[in-house]
Chains A and B, each alone.
Chain A
Amino acid sequence: MTIDVIARPARARPVTLRRISNRSGLNTAAGHLLMVLLSIFCLFPVYWMLVSSFRPANTLFETSLWPTQPSLDNYTRAVDAIPIARMLINTLVFSAVSTVFQLLTGILAAFAFARWKFPFDKLVYTGVALTWLVPFQVVMIPNYLLIAQMGLLDSVLALILPNIAAALAIMLLAQAMRGFPKEVIEAARMDGASNWRVLWEVLVPNLRGTIASLAILIFISTWNEYFWPLLLSRTAENSVIQIGIQMFMTAEGNQWGPLMAASTLASLPVLVIYVVLQRQVVQSFMKSGIR
């Protein structure tokens, strides 16, 4: 009886485990199948952009998975029509410098909010947070007038200036710094570290994951910026790649071939960043949500 009791589960166990194992295997397979389907769904537009960039104008609308007459004509036309290399460099400078400055101003401001209590600190923080709710289109024209008065129209510097500080960076970093153990900061202070050293030698190295995630978010969002460059840039040479792509959409019809070629070239840097920093990109979106 006792044996049976012991034996029953012993006999039953492998069966249950096998069933569980089989069910788990099926679940895993179904999960993988779903992921594969979702991946195809997500990647297909990118693939279609790539293959369309190799299709000549008169075969652009064919539905074969690979061009029947592959050609580099669209790339030639795109490069001839707009200064793609210059636009990509402008976009890179715009995105990289904006990212560095937003991180810098964000770290300093967040440190102030997280570290000290000062009169009206909550009010100021709320003010910063509220600026996040104001769409850029609302302040676009005042910014434009200011840039025009400064004589900086049609320059990459003018693109960068309104982007050197951002509420998102301040709020995200302030939140991260508030969650940092106070004991560690106190220990550093007892060792004689100044606030400057506490920030750069204690806080920043320990928050590098958050900072890296934020940097990726800022970079991608600036890379995709459209309205501000559209208003500000007066020449293709001083504009960014998103404007260059839009230039192929005209009142006389859209030039899909060169547009796809330019889009392919424009997406390469972001694609490279994504491949290299895949884990951080995913984490950044999980931590802060999609802007």
Chain B
Amino acid sequence: MLRTSILACLLALSTAVPALAQTMAPSIEQPVTITFYNYNLAAAGLGAEATQKLINEFMAANPNVTVTGVPYGSADGSRIQADLAAGLPVDVVQTVFSDLDFSVTNFGAQALEDIVPAGEIATHLQGMHPNGTKLGVLNGKTYGLAYTFSTPVLFYNADLFRAAGLDPDNPPKTWADVKSAALAVEEKTDAEGFTAGITGPSAVDWLFQGVVRSNNGEVISRDRKTLKFAEPEAIEAVAMLRDLYDAGVYENYDFAGAVDGMASGNLAMYLQTSALQGSLVAGANGNYELRSSTMPRFADKPTRPNNSGSALTIHTTDPLKQRAAWELMKFLTSEHGYTIITSEIGYLPLRPAIVTDPKYLAGWIADHPLVAPNLEQLDRLEPWDPMPGANYRQIVKTMMDAVEMSIFGGADVATTLADAQANAQALMP
């Protein structure tokens, strides 16, 4: 009897809690203004223009909603912190995936399951790639919907490949291929062989996570409690990069140097986010043939690329604003939204069907073949794990400094990573 009563109570609670948690207004019957913190708006050019265009279209379709775009720097999020401290409304945020944990625990990002009726979530997620919908999931709940994101792509200069006696139709598929191709370029041309956006101040750890995973390692455990970047698989991955550097084919360029080197035709291969496509095409136009390929793999192990970029997160607790924010989120991640995001900013569409749909991206994809490897990797996409706790940036910095010292600084790979892991583990919550 007692057991039955307890079970009945638990059942009642389990059905009541979601009902209580779903506080969102059912519709927007009165004017409402929401703020949209967006880092694309802080830049000049296509990203800002496309974002503003989407906001304007949304407001035209939803006359009761006014969206105030607030530009902020994604590098530190200080404006969001300052505005929250000042009591200003922070309603929707374009959150970098590595900041997701901090955004949930400090900026009040809301789990969609807690505020949006389950049926509405299910309906909206229909047609999205299942790998993409997992990107914003943390601790079993969806805090963000993937918005502007991409995967690592190996850009290469087909003209330099030909000059080095390589076949540009068969780009490097493994890290060993990258090394031999880069050596050939270094030997037979005046150009540099290879660089990657794995390290450097603006790299964070997104590309490094994918490289380590592709060697069947992890930088952090699945429960995000234990750091694992000094485990043998990670050490082997870093040692491979060190070997490329020691062989003289991996250039230690910062972000601007690498992009400029590739755009100017002085670099044969560059592993970086596909979001750089526009900049590289602008430099290559009329100078050399720019091509792209998938991320290199370790021998016969399939690659496990993870995403870069951002998710949309809802922060407001006001029911009416939550509804407006959810409607905005749905619009931005709709077929039309991803069409604009892909064709005008350069990121990846999370809805695979629009790629072949003439109403959306089919024509654009045909004209932009460089995006093909990016789409191919969508099927193997894994999340960019955010480091937990208030020290998350320091953890990433400790890890990436050790990686940089191991590759370019001559430090012993295993010892350096182990020391850094011990130090970083102490910073974990």
CB of A230 within 8 A of CB of B73, answer yes
A119 contacts partner chain B, Cβ-Cβ < 8 Å: no
CB of B345 within 8 A of CB of A252, answer yes
Across the interface, A231 reaches (CB within 8 A) one of B39, B46, B78, B256, namely B78
18 A–B contact pairs at CB < 8 A?
Answer: A58-B283, A58-B287, A60-B263, A61-B265, A82-B44, A148-B88, A153-B88, A231-B79, A247-B42, A248-B45, A250-B44, A251-B39, A251-B74, A251-B275, A252-B276, A253-B276, A253-B278, A254-B259
Q: Using Cβ atoms and an 8 Å threshold, which residues of chain B touch A249?
A: 43
Interface mask (B91-129 → A, CB under 8 Å = 1, otherwise 0)? 000000000000000000000000000000000000000
Bound state CA distance, A218 and B88, in angstroms?
32
CB of A81 within 8 A of CB of B44, answer yes
The closest CB in chain B to the CB of A234 belongs to B70
CB of A250 within 8 A of CB of B256, answer no
Bound state CA distance, A78 and B44, in angstroms?
8
- Give the total of A residues in contact with B, Cβ under 8 Å: 29
Total A-B pairs in contact (CB under 8 Å)? 88
CB of A58 within 8 A of CB of B45, answer no
The closest CB in chain B to the CB of A141 belongs to B82
Q: Using Cβ atoms and an 8 Å threshold, which residues of chain A touch B279?
A: 252-255
B252 contacts partner chain A, Cβ-Cβ < 8 Å: no
* Contact residues, B249-308 vs A (CB, 8 A): 256, 259-260, 263-266, 275-276, 278-280, 282-287
* Contact residues, A197-255 vs B (CB, 8 A): 230-231, 234-235, 244, 247-255
A57 contacts partner chain B, Cβ-Cβ < 8 Å: yes
A86 to chain B, nearest CB (A): 14
CB of B256 within 8 A of CB of A254, answer yes
B86 contacts partner chain A, Cβ-Cβ < 8 Å: yes
The closest CB in chain A to the CB of B150 belongs to A252
CB of A253 within 8 A of CB of B47, answer no
- Give the total of B residues in contact with A, Cβ under 8 Å: 41
User: Given known contacts A144-B86, A149-B86, is B79 in contact with A57 (CB within 8 Å)?
Assistant: no
Interface mask (A140-162 → B, CB under 8 Å = 1, otherwise 0)? 01001100110001000000000
User: A-B pairs with the 9 shortest C-beta distances?
Assistant: A253-B279, A61-B264, A148-B86, A81-B44, A247-B44, A250-B43, A57-B282, A58-B285, A252-B275
A83 to chain B, nearest CB (A): 10
* Contact residues, B28-53 vs A (CB, 8 A): 39, 42-48
Q: Using Cβ atoms and an 8 Å threshold, which residues of chain B touch A145?
A: 82, 85-86
Q: Using Cβ atoms and an 8 Å threshold, which residues of chain A touch B43?
A: 247-252
Bound state CA distance, A248 and B47, in angstroms?
11
Across the interface, A244 reaches (CB within 8 A) one of B44, B259, B265, namely B44
CB of B45 within 8 A of CB of A61, answer no
Interface, chain B (partner A; CB < 8 A): 39, 42-48, 70-71, 73-74, 78-79, 82-83, 85-88, 202, 256, 259-260, 263-266, 275-276, 278-280, 282-287, 345-346
Bound state CA distance, A254 and B47, in angstroms?
12
Bound state CA distance, A123 and B266, in angstroms?
61
Across the interface, B280 reaches (CB within 8 A) one of A235, A244, A248, A253, namely A253
CB of B88 within 8 A of CB of A258, answer no
Interface mask (A53-81 → B, CB under 8 Å = 1, otherwise 0)? 00001101100000000000000001001
Q: Using Cβ atoms and an 8 Å threshold, which residues of chain A touch B45?
A: 81, 247-248, 250, 252, 255, 258
Across the interface, A144 reaches (CB within 8 A) one of B47, B82, B256, B278, namely B82
Q: Using Cβ atoms and an 8 Å threshold, which residues of chain A touch B259?
A: 253-254
Q: Using Cβ atoms and an 8 Å threshold, which residues of chain A touch B275?
A: 251-252
Q: Using Cβ atoms and an 8 Å threshold, which residues of chain A touch B47?
A: 250, 252
A75 to chain B, nearest CB (A): 13
Q: Using Cβ atoms and an 8 Å threshold, which residues of chain B touch A153?
A: 88
Q: Using Cβ atoms and an 8 Å threshold, which residues of chain A touch B42?
A: 247
CB of B85 within 8 A of CB of A58, answer no
User: Given known contacts A61-B264, A141-B85, is B44 in contact with A255 (CB within 8 Å)?
Assistant: yes
User: Given known contacts A145-B85, A253-B279, A254-B259, is B284 in contact with A248 (CB within 8 Å)?
Assistant: no
Across the interface, B44 reaches (CB within 8 A) one of A58, A234, A253, A258, namely A258
Q: Using Cβ atoms and an 8 Å threshold, which residues of chain A touch B283?
A: 57-58, 60-61
The closest CB in chain A to the CB of B262 belongs to A253
Bound state CA distance, A129 and B47, in angstroms?
45
The closest CB in chain B to the CB of A57 belongs to B282
